[in-house]
Structure 1
Amino acid sequence: MNVITRWTALGGAAAVLVGLTGCAGTASASTSVAAKAAVEPLVLYAAEGFDSVAAKAFTAKTGIPVKLVDDSTGPLLTKIQAEKNNPQWSLLWVDGDTAFAALDQQGMLAPYAAKGDFNDVGKAIIPSDNSYTPTGTTVMSALIYNAAKVTTVPATYDDLLGSAYAGKVGMNDPAQSGPTYPFVAGLMNQLGGQTGGVAAGEAYLTKLKANGLQVFPTNGDTLHAIETGQIDFGLIQSSAAIGEALKVKPTADFEPKIAYLPKSTLLPSVIGIDKGASPVQQAEAKKFIDYVVSPEGQAVMLTGDPTGDSLFWPVVTGTKSLPGLPAFPTAYQSIDPAFWGPLQSQVVTWFESNIK
């Protein structure tokens, strides 16, 4: 039921009560309407492995119902744009601040300064207008490879263009996978900065395709391709790569190992509020954000997907990452989401037409 329908129904109920009980009934009906209007379902669009457990824990703590719409980041962003004139979401929670910077520039996010105790990495991610909030971070990409078949591991992105890697490298589709556009943008930023990066990145990816690059929808699909021998190397999110290495028992045919090519791009998980949501939903959304960046909420996030998205480096002080997660990388780059975010549609469209 949408907000207009909800108020219409409540108003009709109040009118019936007035007719039945007179003035005393009017006061009672008004109280009832106010009480019911104080809580609305919080609609959470999310692409995190821990989103379901976090939503359930939040509801159990606050009594605020959460309607979770869980999907890959690409389809969720497409859905948000399609609903631009009639938003159906309250909160968006996905990987990559580039998407949020683009939404912010379109005037679609409601600012909120979360009450979390952020560490230095977290503080550096929070934008000056508080239009979105980081909840953790990974890097993109990690190079996962099958050590049972591989004898030579690349040390640079240029190495992947060599004949030793022809047809053996895979990556995710940035139209589907939330972590992948920031990776592509980071690659472009590394190769040519903000002035020549798009052209340099397109040239590199074109060469990589000519060397047999294979594109799969998301982290899981790229991992499956490595497991089944379609490829030997995958450029995927660090949490997915680390999770694979932790959960798979090495065999003579498959032994996943991880390397990092210089430089990995910092990839935060980020949450933001729909500016078009009702005042009640915006107030509930602020409570949800404060919850997930609280010690209690962070603990829930760490349990939700222990061999996947829960393998994040915390941006909140006092939160300890899961055992098995290596130390936070020191050699990484942060890209400017305000610059690269608005270019996402252009870059992804080019990728879909020329690389996929």
Structure 2
Amino acid sequence: MFNSLKKITLGVVAAALMSGVAHADITVYTAGPQSLIDKLSAGFTAQSGIKVNVFQATTGKVMARIEAEAANPVVDVLISASWDTATDFAKRGWLVSYTSPNAAKVPDFLKTDTAVAQGISALGIAWNTKSGTPKPAEWADLAKPEYKDLVNIPDPAQSGSSFELTAALAGQDDWKLFHDLKANGAIVAGANAEALNPVLQGAKAAVFGAVDYIALAAKAKGESIDVIFPESGTVIAPRPAMILNWSKQQDEAKKFIDYMLSDEGQKLVADQMLMPARTDIPASRPLISDLKLLKYSTADVYGKRKETLKQFADIFAVGN
């Protein structure tokens, strides 16, 4: 009788402990779309019972928040819009080594010991099909007279993907393209969404270097928008997810990564018009194999980040 009661008591205690662990909260910071993290969080919580606290913002604002919280960090999982974040944080020793079993079909160039892509976006020209302007085919087309005062450019200081495209293109012609764009009345219009909204509304004709999934999602909803990937080349922006080593919920954080890379999680990524990280998940949009990618050294590009941003700001009088 005593042994039976002891077993029951131990079982109740163990269940309570397991329940407590299962319902520990995690905090996720993301530079990805709000709707995606909301759906991932809801699906993960429904599956695991673990609540997800979310902070969603631009790359710049997410990084600023992490810096501001340096003395008392709270983020467990970070999803950045720039792979350089994962490289930088790994060098600082801030990341937990973890390889999810669901990462088996993620290509090697989209994962490391400490980070794995959630999904991938690409940069293109978002063009309003009812703008009365000719359909652009190349980046340089947006510096032509037909696009005078009708082009927005996302601020590379606020958008990690915009920075990489800016640096890659500037390195090809010593900033000539950007000087031409400025002379043609192109303006810097905040981060990605702020640059795209006036194009969707018809106030502007095109975004130079639009993050593709936002425009593709708008097109799928019937907006008069198209996305063109120049044949001269573009850049992709893998969105790395990583677990911070100060996290007190590392086991729960690993479960979140597992869910993000599960069939269900990757379908949610594809539904946002992002390229899934896993090659076995279908998507109704162009994939990496459909694009020509610019060749450049990521290390060189990010090694000159301050100089690149200053040059860009000088050309467009940003902050002046």
Alignment of 1:1-356 (within 5 A): 36=20, 40-49=24-33, 50-119=36-105, 122-127=107-112, 130-140=113-123, 142-189=124-171, 191=172, 200-201=174-175, 203-235=176-208, 236-248=210-222, 255-261=224-230, 262-278=232-248, 281-302=249-270, 306=271, 310-322=272-284, 325-326=285-286, 328=288, 329-333=290-294, 336-352=297-313, 354-355=315-316, 356=318
SS of 2:117's partner is strand
**1:320 Cα offset (Å):** 1.1
TM-score (norm 2): 0.81
Higher alpha-carbon deviation: 53-62 or 164-173? 164-173
CA distance in 2: counterparts of 1:207 and 1:107, whole angstroms:
42
5+ residue gaps, structure 1, are 1-27, 193-199, 250-254
TM-score (norm 1): 0.74
CA distance in 2: counterparts of 1:228 and 1:300, whole angstroms:
27
Higher alpha-carbon deviation: 225-234 or 264-273? 225-234
**1:143 Cα offset (Å):** 0.8
**1:335 Cα offset (Å):** 5.1
CA contact (8 A) 1:145 1:256 kept: yes
Change (3 A) 1:80 1:341: farther
CA contact (8 A) 2:233 2:291 kept: no
SS of 1:116's partner is helix
CA contact (8 A) 2:161 2:211 kept: yes
Q: Letter of the 2:27 partner, please give it.
A: V
5+ residue gaps, structure 2, are 1-11
CA distance in 2: counterparts of 1:110 and 1:340, whole angstroms:
26
CA contact (8 A) 2:22 2:50 kept: no
**1:248 Cα offset (Å):** 2.6
SS of 1:52's partner is helix
Higher RCO (CA < 8 A, seq sep 6+)? 1
Residues paired across the two proteins, number? 302
Q: Letter of the 2:279 partner, please give it.
A: T
CA distance in 1: counterparts of 2:200 and 2:165, whole angstroms:
22
**1:164 Cα offset (Å):** 3.2
Deviations 1:316-347 (A, max 9, x none): 1321114xx24542312365544434544553
Change (3 A) 1:64 1:146: closer
Q: CA RMSD in A?
A: 3.0
